[in-house]
Each structure stands twice: as structure tokens, then as C-alpha cells.
Amino acid sequence: MKVENMKLPFSRYGSYLVISPLYGRNRDPKSLYIRHIRGGDEKDGAIFKIELVRGNQEIDYEVEWAPHVLKLIATDGSLDIVECCFSSDRTIRIKGADVGVKLTAITGSYDYALAFPDQTWEINSFLQERRFRIIPLEGDLNVDAPFEVDKSKHITVHCDPNPISKTFDMAISEYQLMFQHDHALEMPFRDNAEQAANDYQQWQENTLQVPSSFQKGHDLASYITWSCVVKPDGLLTRPAMYMSKNWMTNIWSWDHCFNAMALSEHQPELAWDQFCIFFDQQDDSGALPDFLNDQWALWNCCKPPIHGWTLKHLMKNTAFVTLEKLAEVYEPLVKWTKWWLRYRDDDLDGIPQYNHGNDSGWDNSTIFHKGTPVESPDLSSFLVLQIEVLAEIAGKLGKLDEANEWMLKSQELLSKMIDHFWDGKQFTAKRSGSHEVIESDSLVLSIPLILGKRLPAEILTRLVDDIKHKGFLTEHGLATELPESQFYKHDGYWRGPIWAPTTLLVVDGLIASGEKELALEIAKRFCKMAATSGMAENFNALTGEGLRDPAFTWTSSVFLILGHLLLEK
């Protein structure tokens, strides 16, 4: 594997440190960087560029990757190897033989390096708002960091092999203020790598199983989900599974639901953490932020209210989702639901609206091509289910009057939704206020399938027929825009490519509609594509090629859920 083909970030459970190229950034994708993913995806987080050196001569290398160890193999004919592993979630260890390593710091204003009496060095990165300790374990460590006015002019770290043993061993540990020794560094490198391998193996054993024909995809999905979890810190009150450690280094307020669902069977506590983490930051108005990372939350938009639908799935694991857990989440879910009904219905017609495509999760869907706000049937469908779930929870908690009120509200919204959006042949989207119908060939108009047999039989039949025959279903799965549409683009984000979440929503809706055979066929096509093309952010609907970020957790989670469904059929 060449460096530029390394699409999976090398990291581990709990860590904010990553080794990867910088695809899509203004840096050379042929190089590897040690990165730091605190603070989200507005910065690439590059700390050090990694180079192999023999003396002062730089050596090209290729990458050999495994979940527990990353090998950099010299391509000058020597086949000398430098290996990297995580001794802990805050420390990267680097070891080599017959070849050295050079780390060039990516610096900003005021960044400097400071030597300590124990032969370690601290690099204080104002750019990353963290400190990094360089720890020599074996070999010759040299740091070049000439101080000029108020910062180090540059910072380079050379670690060369010991002249006798011909090997070097060093570590890089991150911290905010006070350095704490990583006792795992007292063990041999191999023991550190083996511990990481054992941790990953335990995770993989707790991952939903899939048919053996998709084993390659299972290995990939297991690694991506394991390695993308970061430990609680700052605004992240619980362990959080990021969408990726490439560049989508946040969690979004519907993505987390799919990850929770994939974890619920074997890791219910972690699943519950994923589900609840956005409610920990809920605004007094009831709104949830669009996304979160350890340092900040974005409130400019939101994501659709699929949380009732998700909670219904989590409640199947009744051994963990106890009455106590339901009591914990009931009021936050009430506030989230009321927020949509109170603050996203400007024309007061009882039908909630999206103020921007990003609010829907279908950012640039063609239902928004004439502008916003837009009333869309998927939003009402999500709220019908969410209100119904609130009725069920209220009943379990002994709030019988509230349960009755919620059930009546769910039925009322369902009736309004059908009257408002169904034109006799299909569901439509409309401009809020004028109720102008928006012409669109987007799959989002089929999402009411999640209501299943709550819909009248003639409507349900038509929705199922559209999935079967209208043209959304390709060899690889469900396109998000009809390929025949004038707006269709192979890499058009929500105007064509196949996405994991929408696939799962439709599959779930088909099962709820009594169309399990069709649901399983769609699941099979998606899993085959993902196992072949990788767990990408989305996929070319006609070729199955992976698009955008190549290592995405909600794709991995949906692959595992659908693959497990195929195993249980």
C-alpha cells in the first residue's frame, strides 16, 4: 500500500491522535502526518510530517497497515521498517531499525520547543492548543528548534538508531497543561502493540455479525467504528463515536443515532451514550446542536428528529433500556419534539418545516432547489413516530394523561400530513406559507415508508411500487435522486449518490410495510457494495464507487445492521 492509498486513518479507541495523509487539504497526500483532531473539522490538525531518514537523506516509503500497528517500509531497496503503535489513547510510539525518523512540526504563532532535564522535550503548540511531549526511549534524539523573538523559528525532531543496537524507540504524548508519564512505555513496543490488538479483537467480537461473504467489510467496519471513538472531554460528556478521523471529525445530531443502533445489542451502555450525548447539550428551547466536538457545538442548523424512531429500536433491548433510562430521556425528547412543533411552523398550519437543507440531513436535496422554508413529508413522518414513542414511554412511566394526549397528537399529525402532502399519486414537498408544490425526484419523498401500515393501504402500495419500479433502485442500492433526473449527479452529495442512513430508513420502512423480501434485497446490494468499495461517506449510485470521506462510521454501522439482518433472515 502506498501512502497516497492509505484511506483509513491509523488511530485507536479513545484517542484524539491520528496518523494519516491529509486528503483534501493543501498538503502533500503522499506524506503521512501525526494529527490531532480536537476542535472539529475546520482545521486539519497536522502536528508533525513524518519522514524516514538515513543520516540527512530522506527516504521514500510505503505503508503496511493493521489495526494495531502501522509499518513504514523504506523503498530504497533496504526494506528497513519503522513501526508505529498506540501505547495508550494519548501516546503514539515509534520504533525503527537501521533507519531513522524525522518529524517536522507544523507550527503557528508562538509555538516553541523546550528541553527538560530528563532528556524529554515539550512542544507547546498554540496552533493546536495542546502540548506534546517527545520521549526518547532508545537511540539518539535531536531537536532543532531555534528560538526567535517569541517562537521557535522551526521545530524538527530527529531520532536515529543507536550505533550499537541499530534501533531507535521514541514516543509522542499529548496533554493540555501537565504531563503525566505513560507507564505503558515501560513495556516493550511489542507488548504495546499486542494490547492494542487485543482491545480491537474484543471490540470486533462484540460487533454485529454478518454473512461470511461480507467478512472483509465486517473487518473494515469493525476497525472504523472502534478507532473513531474518542474519550469524554470538554463538551463531549460521554465516549463519542466520530463520523471519521479523516476530516469529518465531529458527531452530527442524526449520525449518532445509527451508530447507537449498531452498538445496542452487544454494547448497550456505549449505545446509550451515543444516543444521549446530544441531549446533554440541549438548549433550553429544546433544540439540539447540529454537531458537536470536544470544543464547540454548531447551532446554525440542526438535524431531523429521528430520535424517537431510534429509541424505539433501542427499546427492543429491554434488559438495558429500563424505566429509569426512559425516565432519563423522556423530558429531553419532549422538549425536542415541541421545539419542532413550536418553532418550525411559521405559517401555523400544523405542518413543521425545514429552514435549510442542512436541517433535513439531505443538505442539497432537490426539494430545496427553489429555496426555503420547505415543508417535507419525511419531517412529519419522523415526528408522527416520535410522538407515538413519547406516548408509549409516558404510559410506561405512569403518565397516562400525557400518553393519551401524545397518541391523539400523533394521529392528528398523521392525518394532516396525508391531507397536506399526498396528491393522489405521490408525496410532495411544498414551500411553507404559499404551499407551492416543489417538483422533485428525490428519494426523500419516499421516507414516509417508515410509517408502514399506519398509512392507508393504497398509499403504502404506491410507495412500495415506486421503490420497486420508479428507478431509484440500482444494482448497488437506492439512489437519493432518480438517475433520470435533470439534477442527478454521480458525485452530487444528496442529488444522486447512495447513502447509508437513507438506505436503512427505507429498508426499515419496507419491513414495517410487510415487504421484507424487497428490504433484504436492498440490504444485500448495499452490503455487497460497501464490502467491495469500503465504508465511504456515500457511493456512486451507478458504479458503486466510494465517494468523499473513505472511512465513515455511520456507513460502517448501517453495513453491520443490514448485514446482521441478512444473517437473521
Per residue in 383-439, pLDDT (tens digit) is: 999 999 999 999 999 999 999 999 999 999 999 999 999 999 999 999 999 999 999
Domain co-membership, 161 together with 238? no
**E-strand spans in 429-498?**
429-431, 437-438
Domain end marker among 199, 223, 239: 199
Q: In what order do the strands lie in the sheet with 61-65?
A: 61-65, 70-74, 81-88, 91-97, 167-175, 130-138, 121-125, 112-115
Integer Cα distance of 189 and 171 in angstroms: 10
Is residue 7 within 8 A of residue 551, CB to CB? The reply is yes
Confidence of residue 26 (pLDDT cuts 50, 70, 90): low
Whole-angstrom distance, CA of residue 146 vs CA of residue 155? 8
Are 184 and 212 within one domain? no
CATH value at residue 419 = 1.50.10.10
**CB count in 10 Å sphere of residue 115:** 12
Strand partners, 93: 85, 171
CATH label of the domain that carries residue 108: 2.70.98.10
CA distances for 88 relative to 172, 200, 242, 267, 565, angstroms: 11, 13, 19, 21, 35
Q: What nine digits make up the cell of 537? A: 461517506
Q: What angle (nearest 5°) sits at the alpha carbon of residue 565, between those of residues 563 and 567?
A: 75
Rounded to whole angstroms, the Cα distance separating 61 from 80 reads 9
Q: How far is CA 34 from CA 10, 84, 295, in A?
A: 9, 11, 20
Nearest to 103 by CA among 52, 168, 176: 52
DSSP string, 410-431: HHHHHHHHHHHHB-SSSB-EEE
Residue 526 has pLDDT above 80, yes or no: yes
Q: Domain check: are 108 and 225 in the same one?
A: no
Are 177 and 299 found together in one domain? Answer: no
Looking at the structure, tell me whether residues 173 and 212 fall in a common domain: no
Last residue of a domain, one of 144, 166, 199: 199
Claim: this prediction has a pTM higher than 0.85: yes
Per-residue pLDDT, averaged over 515-536, amounts to: 98
- The C-alpha atoms of residue 246 and residue 419 are separated, in whole angstroms, by 44
236-268: per-residue pLDDT in tens? 999 999 999 998 999 999 999 999 999 999 999
User: Tell me, what's the pLDDT at 318?
Assistant: 73
194 contacts 68 by C-beta, under 8 angstroms: yes
Return the pLDDT at 432: 98
Residue with cell 428519494: 443
Last residue of a domain, one of 199, 228, 252: 199
Query: Quick one: pLDDT at residue 24?
Result: 61
Q: How far apart are the first and last CA of the chain?
A: 37
C-alpha cell at 192: 504495546
Claim to verify: residue 180 and residue 71 sit in the same structural domain: yes
**HEC profile for 168-210?**
EEEEEEEECCCCCCCHHHHCCHHHHHHHHHHHHHHHHHCCCCC
Amino acid letter, residue 81: I
pLDDT surpasses 80 at 29: no
C-alpha cell at 431: 414551500
pLDDT at 56: 86
User: Cβ(46)–Cβ(205) under 8 Å?
Assistant: no
Q: Distance (Å, rounded) from C-alpha 536 to C-alpha 247?
A: 12
Asked which of 38-47, 362-371, 383-392, 459-468 is least confident by mean pLDDT, the reply is: 38-47
Report how many domains make up the chain. Answer: 2
Label residue 27 by pLDDT band (50, 70, 90).
low
Strand partners, 144: 156
3-class SS of residue 337 = helix
Q: Is the pLDDT of residue 28 over 80?
A: no
Q: Which long-range contacts (CB under 8 A, 24 or more apart) does 276-281 make?
A: 276/238, 276/328, 276/329, 277/236, 277/237, 277/238, 277/240, 277/251, 278/251, 278/253, 279/329, 279/332, 279/333, 279/336, 280/237, 280/238, 281/235, 281/237
Residue 2 has pLDDT above 70, yes or no: no
Mean pLDDT of the chain: 96
- Provide mean pLDDT across the span 515-525: 98
Task: Specify the pLDDT at position 41.
Answer: 86
Taking the mean position of all CA atoms in its chain, how far away is CA 58?
35
Residues 224 and 141 in one domain: no
What is the biggest distance separating any 2 CA atoms in the chain, rounded to whole angstroms? Answer: 83
Please tell me the predicted confidence (pLDDT) of residue 210.
98
More reliable by pLDDT, 39 or 2: 39
Element (H, E) at 311: helix 307-314
Give the mean pLDDT of 524-546.
Answer: 98
Grid coordinates in use for 424? 393522489
pLDDT (tens digit, 9 = 90+) per residue, 115-170? 999 999 999 999 899 999 999 999 999 999 999 999 999 999 999 999 999 999 99
> Same structural domain for residues 229 and 320?
yes
Q: Which helix (H) or strand (E) holds 256?
A: helix 255-263
Same domain, 530 and 499: yes
pLDDT given at position 341: 98
The pLDDT of residue 25 is: 54
Kindly indicate the confidence band of residue 6, based on its pLDDT and cuts at 50, 70 and 90. confident
Measuring CA to CA, how many Å separate 277 from each of 36, 231, 236, 294? 22, 12, 7, 12
What pLDDT does 337 receive? 98
C-alpha cell at 442: 428525490
Do 104 and 241 belong to one domain? no
pLDDT tens-place string over residues 292-321? 999 999 999 999 999 999 999 999 877 899
Residue 47, Cα to own-chain centre: how many angstroms?
22
CA 17 – CA 286 distance, rounded (Å): 33
19 HSE (CA, 13 A, CB side): 30
**What pLDDT sits at residue 4?**
62
Q: Which percentage of the chain shows pLDDT scores above 70?
A: 98
Contact yes or no for 238/299 (Cβ under 8 A): no
Q: Would you call the peptide bond into 352 cis, given omega within 30 degrees of 0 as the criterion?
A: no
Same domain assignment for residues 540 and 560: yes
What pLDDT score does 30 carry?
A: 79
Mean of the pLDDT values across residues 97-101?
95
As a whole number of angstroms, the distance between CA 210 and CA 423 comes to 40
What pLDDT is stored for residue 172 in this prediction? 98
Domain containing 104: what range?
3-199
| Residue-level pLDDT at 22 | 87
Q: Which amino acid is at 40?
A: G
Q: What is the mean pLDDT of residues 102-117?
A: 96
- Gap between the Cα atoms of 305 and 311, Å rounded: 11
**194 and 214 inside one domain:** no
Write down the pLDDT at residue 317. 75
Average the pLDDT over 446-467 and give the result.
98
Model confidence at 351, pLDDT cuts 50, 70, 90, reads very high
User: CA 41, 47, 52, 54: dihedral to nearest 10 degrees?
Assistant: 160
The grid coordinates listed for 484 are 433520470
